[in-house]
Chains A and B, each alone.
Chain A
Amino acid sequence: MANTQTTVPKFTTLEVLTSAAQNLTAGTGCPVFANATTRNAAFGGANKVLAEGQICYLESTNVVQLYDGAAWQTVGPAPAASSGLTFITSGTFSAVSQGTVTACFNSTYDNYKVILDGTNFGGDLYLIFGAGGTISTATNTDWATTNSISGGVAGVSAVNQSKALIQRNAILGTINIEIVGPNLAQETKHSVISAGCISGTSGISGTSGAVVKNSTQFTDFTIRSDAHPSGSITFSYRVYGYANS
């Protein structure tokens, strides 16, 4: 490529500045390398010492990078929507009976991953979808759970509910929710793997799943304590979108 270079010149006292060197330095604006290997080889030795603040462009991946003093970081462009799992949002709910995240599902992705990290799940938890800031009250969710717990808690299920049980009993724990098609005009399905402990003494793990049997295009989700409107739950969340291709 026309801009590709293999060195980043460093001039010493009384050294002749050739037109080639000048063109190389001024012509590119920022150093352009074929790939990370040639980039790494272009610094140090007789060349410029790599230092914090250095930028470059890599032809192999079409990205602009910045050296932060320890490693090269990609500045941009942002990964395309088709590059896999993309972070959407995160946050923390503290001492509430329910937490709602709005406008996190849209047409960019068909499927989503939600990870909950609970310091106090307070017991059973429910997942409810919503749209435009309004929590759905439609009673068309079928759900089922399986559980493994000290002392034994049988799996439970229910049909035509307004919410889906995603976690049983745990106080401290994690919940991983895979959501299929929340913003599509079709049924919304989700599967859950959860694990945690009860009062810090007994372990529990479980799986669950549910189908919302309508074609509502959801944009929001809500995590609700089973003690709602009382109860107190504290957890952080992260939401990711799966690329469609």
Chain B
Amino acid sequence: MSRRARTALFLVSAVIVLIVVVAGFAGLPDFGHYKGPYGKVLALFSVPQRQTTDVVTAVNFDYRAFDTMGEEFILFAAVLGLAVVLRSMRDERERPSHEASDEHRFAEASSLLGLFGTLLVGPALVLGMYIVTHGVLTPGGGFQGGLILAAALLIVFLAGEYLGMKLIAPHAMVEFGEAAGAAGYVLVGVGGLIFSAVFFKNFIPFGSAGHILSGGTMPISNIAVGLEVAGAFALLWTEFMDQALVIRGS
């Protein structure tokens, strides 16, 4: 189909879609006047019932923990697919690292960038772990904290140390972390099945709201998800950078 015909077809269909969208939006509540009951109920009960002050975490890791498992495996499958798509092809080879170790330092990072990068890695790791472990108390949790942890690896790379990044997070370890996180989350669900006869039922005592270990299984789920997300994104960085730096056509 020519570009012209395609654009014309799009414009016609876009008008139809727009009509449907506007008709749909017309049925929505006015901005600022949401009527849905679930959020209200959860906001009232999450503290007394689950001892969790962050309702968003309570929703993700308790009330709809089963759905989160599904979403977590979309993430898992996407990164697995990426690793398969970016594997070394038949006519490619991986450069041995000694052959081109100087080229691993991309366009030379300036010494200032290197210095600040090195200084930032520690605080980024601490912040990531803080966000993961405080998910039940304040905004945060496994998903956000995991991303910050993976970003710490990117800082190592920014500081001009691709080999250093691979040293801190070797491929096998990153893959293992991701898989262990995914498995850990499922195990929390199985724990519910074993101890309370319901998959993903929160089977650990809730403790008291405001305490870091409150919320029963939620802190554990958060750590599992944090591990998985950090592993998934670290794997993702490594795969793309291998494409740029290590894998070469013969």
* A and B pair up: no
Give residues in A with beta carbon < 8 Å to B.
Answer: none
Give residues in B with beta carbon < 8 Å to A.
Answer: none
